[in-house]
Each structure stands twice: as structure tokens, then as C-alpha cells.
Structure 1
């Protein structure tokens, strides 16, 4: 039988009770004979040694239903009108999310709503060069995403829906800023003609997204509520956004995202940036900052190998070995490494972070 604290924490994450009520219920029920796991009844820090557990994967029951959702929606999407897909998604959401509170199906249905919105907006604003290169009309294209995802969150309380609403809302603000700059400058190709300013703005937006994710994280230090789930999804976007916005800034002098040039100064710089993001990930206990940089780290190491006289096989397999070793070292030693980092930080900062 699942231990009591785990059940109460799950109820708090689902919004059935508050986290404070769950804490009060533990001794109340234990005094009346309900068995509480000895480790779970200990200090909060020991009960939360791993604060980045994926809560949307809870069993094969969810996986089986999710497979059925994917197959059914794929068939409906191919045979029926686009307007018939959304009602089907909402009916499934009412049954599987609103009533049964299934986690993984909730994630898939949220992504289905997002994909449906994207396809619907494409039908209204067909893809063209002006939309994607100059940004002309991109704000009207994006405006539906924060609205629809926000309404979906208000109805079903899926953390991913709120994260997508925040992310698309920031994208809408970004599009409006570019539209305003384009109008003020009288340059229809402002995005293409001012790469430096555009790169700085993109970097600022990435910082803003990271701050939003960090805000959700710091408001739920022990990661018991859905705020931490929202933070997880935001970090999943914020980490690569930070990385690639910095890469764009570094590549302005020699081509977009060119870090594999053997004679380029960017390769060691990118390695340093990835290392810093990994350090941030250790501090805030978010592995997204590690995983998001693996591809870029691999490309950078590949560029370092190219500076020598090694064969192509050595380029490829040497890169794979180094990246694999880094992943294994960080993965297996995450908690000891994090404790070492936390010991170097001020006590006031450590007390606001997840326990190590």
C-alpha cells in the first residue's frame, strides 16, 4: 500500500487539499492507527531528497490510455474536419483529466490543443515569407495561443497548459515589440536588417522566461504543488532559450550558430556557457539546464576535435564518449555535486533553494 505522505502530497498536487492541510493530516491520521512510512514521517528535507520527480508519468495505465488517445486523434485528424478535432479533445479532457485526473493523458491532450491551435492559425494565416522572416502579421498569428491555453488551464488545471500560455504570451509580447520597432523605423525587414538588436531582445526574453520559471520554483521550495510542475515546463524552454540566444549573439560576426568552425573562438566559449548553465541547473536542482546543452556541447567538442588531424570516426565517436561520460558523471553524482555547490553559497540563498 502506498505510504500516507505520498498520498497526501498527491492530493495536494491535484488541488484536492492544501499542502498545509496535508501536513496537519499526517499526525492526525497516524494517531488513529493509519501507518505512516518511517522515512516519510521524518524531516521534510529527507522526504524530498529528489525534488524533480516527473509527476506526469504515474503508471502503465496512463501510458496505455495515452496510446489510445494518440491513435484515435491521429485517425480523427486524418479523416474529419479540423473543426471536429477540438470537440473530441475536450470530451476526452472532461473524462480523463477533469474526472479521472490522469496525468500523462492530460499532458498529451494539452499538447493536442496546442497543435490544433497552431494548425487552425495556419489555416487563417497561411505560411509565407513575410510572416516568418519579416514578422509581418506574426502577432495576429500568435494571439490565439495564450488565450486558448489559458482557458484550457482554467478549466482543467494542467500545469503544462499554464506554462504554454505564459510562453506564448511572452512570444506575443516579443512579436508586438518587433512590430512596433518595424513601424517606428519604417523598415519592413527590421528583423533581418538589425540582427544585433534582435539578438539582444531575444536574450532579454530568455532571461525573462528564466526569471518566471525561477519565480514558480522559489514559491514552492519543497516542490509539492503544481507550481513546481509549471516551473519544470518553463525551465524546459528557458534553458535552451538562454543557450541559443547567447549562441546567436556570438555568431553575428561569422554566420548564424556557427560553432563548429575549427578556427572559431566560439567553440571554447560555448563550452564555458554550457558549463555555466549546468552549474545553474545544479544550484536550482533542475536537470533541464544539463540536458538542454548536450547537443550544443557535443557540437562544440566535435569542433575541438576538428582542430587536430584525427579521422572522421574519431570526431564522431570521441564526441559521443566524452558527452556520454559527462552525462553519466553528472547523472550519478548529481546529489553529491549539488551539496558541494550549495556549501559554497550563502546560507540565505541556500534556505530558499530545494534541499540538497
Structure 2
């Protein structure tokens, strides 16, 4: 019965049937003795479920792509011609048709991103966060607060995984601004974080770890990644990895300049960036999330670029050498992901590896 219910839930999630129809079909099929036959051993079924677990459920055909293009073009046109308050009405109408009724995944993602952009414009209109000041004032907190409220309401109405992930990330951003304001208030120095950039990186690292813990919460709750919890975790990991990278490198570099993408100081930061990216890659292998690898590639490329830049080679030489090195790393990790992960899982205690996706 459990397998039959799971199949009907999966069919509803993919838009083949409505959730209401799935609920009515279950007792109907059970009364008639319908059962799910075991076509192969459970271990083989588990392996099949895991073999491509990080495929985001965005697109089910070019129909989704075509609809998404139409959504993007229409909203941009409306944004340019109509008032600020006409855009959310269009988002709601399109969400009712494309998300609630037709359950199209990629248009749901585009509508969520449109709502995020509209919320950013709305909040910046009432609470401009960027003021010529070195302190963190209440305007920054007020600006960020609107995101978890509106995106959370959108998730309640339409159950789009990205909207919940963005709501969680923006909620942690609110916590970050409150922590920064509290530390600044306790110090009595409005320019505290300008004088102590390492403390700013430390507070950012705490919130980045909180975001990573939230992503793991959703991930570990769906070990075989058969439900939308896996989609939510995917988006959270996509945000947590660069947050961890930026805050860790800034902290280990003692806040030098506060920008890890600035090539001028990358020669001194390169070992820290490479070590941090390597650690993120190892974490990605353990939890079977390629997002950790992907998010660090840009920083890794900039770090390698900074190292080669200090030599006497020409511009073309160190640019192309950087591309070759990064490309080789991507190919090695991409083609060897499965055997590398098996090696890592064997080195872990059974109590930990048993809670992770199978390898």
C-alpha cells in the first residue's frame, strides 16, 4: 500500500494527475486488489533510485521551456509598461494557471524568481538599504524582512521548492543583520566592522553554517531523494556553498579587503581559496551534492589566475592555463564522482554513511 501511495504521490508531483485524483484513486485501487509487483530486489531498486539523485526537477519537456520564455517576456513587458503593483497580480494569475493547475516546474521557478526581483524593488523603494554609512542601520533589516514574508506566503500557496529555499535564506539574512546590529551596538562603535573585518566574516560564517545545517536537515530527511525535500535541499546547498566559501576565505585571510574575487590580492589568498574549495568538494562528495563543487569553481579559477599572473607569462598564457587546470579538475571530478564517493563513504563510520545517500 505504501508503494502504491508513493507512486500516486509521484504522479501528482509530476503533473500526471491532480493530488485530489490521487487521493481518490488510492482506496479505489486498494479495494480492487491492485498491488505493486517487485520487479527486482530492494537493493537494486535503491541503487536505481540513487543513481542520478541530483537531477533538479525543472524541465519535463520543451513545452516547459516554451511556456517559461513566454512568462519571462510577458512579465518584462508588463514591468516596463505598467506600475510596480501590476507585476504581483500577473504573477498570481500565472501561478494559478501554470503552477496550481498545470503544475509546471520550470515556469514555477521563473515566477518565483520574478517575485524575488519584484520584492527587491519594492523593499528598496520603501527602505533603501544602501546608504553612505559605515554602520548597519535598521534600514538594512527592514529591507531584508520583506523577502521571507512574501516568499514564504508564495510557498504556502503554491508549494514551489525554490520559494521556500529563498524564504529560508532571506530569513537567515534577517538574522545576520540583527546579529551585526547587536554586535555593533554592544561595541559602541558605529564603524566596528570596518575596524574589525574578521569579526564581520565570523558572523557571516555562523549564518552560513546555519544555512548549511538547514540544507542538511532537508537532505537527510529524504535519503533517496524522492520527494520535494530534495529539491528544497538542492537550492539551499546552492546558496550555502558560496556563503561558506566567501565567509571562510574572508575569515582565514583576516578580512583583507573583504572581496575574494579581487585579483590584486589573490596571490596571497590563493592557498586559502584552494584549501577551502577542496574542503567544499570533499563535503560535496560526502553528501552527494555537486553544488558544492560547482559553486567553488569560479573562486578556484580566480585563485589559479592570480597565481599564474605573478609570473612572467603573457596574458594569454595564464588565462588559457587557468582554463585548462579548472577544466581538468571538473572532468576528473565529474567522471570519477561515483568511485571517489564510494572511497569516501568507506572511510566514514557506518552510523554516518547509513544516513547518507547510498554509494
Please list the CA deviations of residues 111-146 of structure 1 after superposition, one character each: whole Å capped at 9, or x if unmatched. 111111111111112354257x52211111111111
User: Which residue is 2:308 aligned to?
Assistant: 305
Counterparts of 1:185-334 in structure 2, within 5 Å, are 185-252=187-254, 254-257=256-259, 260=263, 264-334=267-337
Would the alpha carbon gap of residues 43 and 5 (structure 1) be closer, same or farther in structure 2, given more than 3 Å must change? farther
How far, CA to CA, are the matches of 2:293 and 2:130 in structure 1? 35
Q: Which piece of structure 1 moves more, 175-184 or 82-91?
A: 175-184
How far, CA to CA, are the matches of 2:168 and 2:130 in structure 1? 26
User: Which residue is 1:147 aligned to?
Assistant: 149
Counterparts of 1:93-108 in structure 2, within 5 Å, are 93-108=95-110
Work out whether residues 9 and 224 of structure 1, in 8 Å CA contact, stay in contact via their aligned partners in 2. Answer: no
Would the alpha carbon gap of residues 40 and 91 (structure 1) be closer, same or farther in structure 2, given more than 3 Å must change? farther
How far, CA to CA, are the matches of 2:224 and 2:218 in structure 1? 12
Stretches of structure 2 that go unaligned for 5 or more consecutive residues are: none
How far, CA to CA, are the matches of 2:13 and 2:202 in structure 1? 37
User: Which residue is 1:134 aligned to?
Assistant: 135
How far, CA to CA, are the matches of 2:126 and 2:116 in structure 1? 15
Would the alpha carbon gap of residues 262 and 192 (structure 1) be closer, same or farther in structure 2, given more than 3 Å must change? closer
Please list the CA deviations of residues 171-206 of structure 1 after superposition, one character each: whole Å capped at 9, or x if unmatched. 011111222223333323333233121111001111
Q: Which piece of structure 1 moves more, 331-340 or 167-176?
A: 331-340
How far, CA to CA, are the matches of 2:271 and 2:184 in structure 1? 35
**TM-score w.r.t. structure 1 length?**
0.88
How far 1:10 sits from its partner (Å)?
Answer: 2.8
How far, CA to CA, are the matches of 2:8 and 2:140 in structure 1? 45
1:86 aligns with 2:97: no
Please list the CA deviations of residues 285-317 of structure 1 after superposition, one character each: whole Å capped at 9, or x if unmatched. 100100001011111111222343222211100
User: Which residue is 1:10 aligned to?
Assistant: 10
How far, CA to CA, are the matches of 1:321 and 1:101 in structure 2? 42
Residue 351 of structure 2, aligned match among 335, 348, 352: 348
- Aligned length, in residue pairs: 343
Stretches of structure 1 that go unaligned for 5 or more consecutive residues are: none
Work out whether residues 250 and 256 of structure 2, in 8 Å CA contact, stay in contact via their aligned partners in 1. Answer: no
How far, CA to CA, are the matches of 1:195 and 1:254 in structure 2? 8
Would the alpha carbon gap of residues 115 and 261 (structure 1) be closer, same or farther in structure 2, given more than 3 Å must change? closer
How far 1:41 sits from its partner (Å)?
Answer: 10
How far, CA to CA, are the matches of 1:71 and 1:262 in structure 2? 41
Work out whether residues 13 and 224 of structure 1, in 8 Å CA contact, stay in contact via their aligned partners in 2. Answer: no
Would the alpha carbon gap of residues 57 and 323 (structure 1) be closer, same or farther in structure 2, given more than 3 Å must change? same
How far 1:225 sits from its partner (Å)?
Answer: 1.0
Residue 72 of structure 2, aligned match among 57, 70, 73: 70
Would the alpha carbon gap of residues 175 and 80 (structure 1) be closer, same or farther in structure 2, given more than 3 Å must change? same
Work out whether residues 220 and 355 of structure 2, in 8 Å CA contact, stay in contact via their aligned partners in 1. Answer: yes
How far 1:221 sits from its partner (Å)?
Answer: 0.2
Would the alpha carbon gap of residues 282 and 9 (structure 1) be closer, same or farther in structure 2, given more than 3 Å must change? farther
**TM-score w.r.t. structure 2 length?**
0.87
How far, CA to CA, are the matches of 1:81 and 1:39 in structure 2? 59
How far 1:265 sits from its partner (Å)?
Answer: 4.1
How far, CA to CA, are the matches of 1:120 and 1:151 in structure 2? 16
Would the alpha carbon gap of residues 127 and 213 (structure 1) be closer, same or farther in structure 2, given more than 3 Å must change? closer
